[in-house]
Structure 1
Amino acid sequence: MNEGLNECNECGEDTSCIGCDGEPNSGAVIDNCDICAGNHTDCMIVVTIKPSAVPENMDYNITVHGAGFHQHPTPVCLYTRVSDSEEFNATMKVMDPSMGYCRANLEPGRN
Structure 2
Amino acid sequence: MIDAFEAAVASWLDDRKHVELFTPPKRVVQHDVPPYELVLKASKTSAIVTPEVGLLGTLEAMGVDVPVSCGGGICGACRTRWIEGPPIHRDRVLSPAERQNELIVCVGDCAGPKLVLDL
TM-score (norm 2): 0.22
Higher relative contact order (CA 8 A, sep 6+): 2
Higher helix share: 2
Give the structure with the higher percent strand: 1
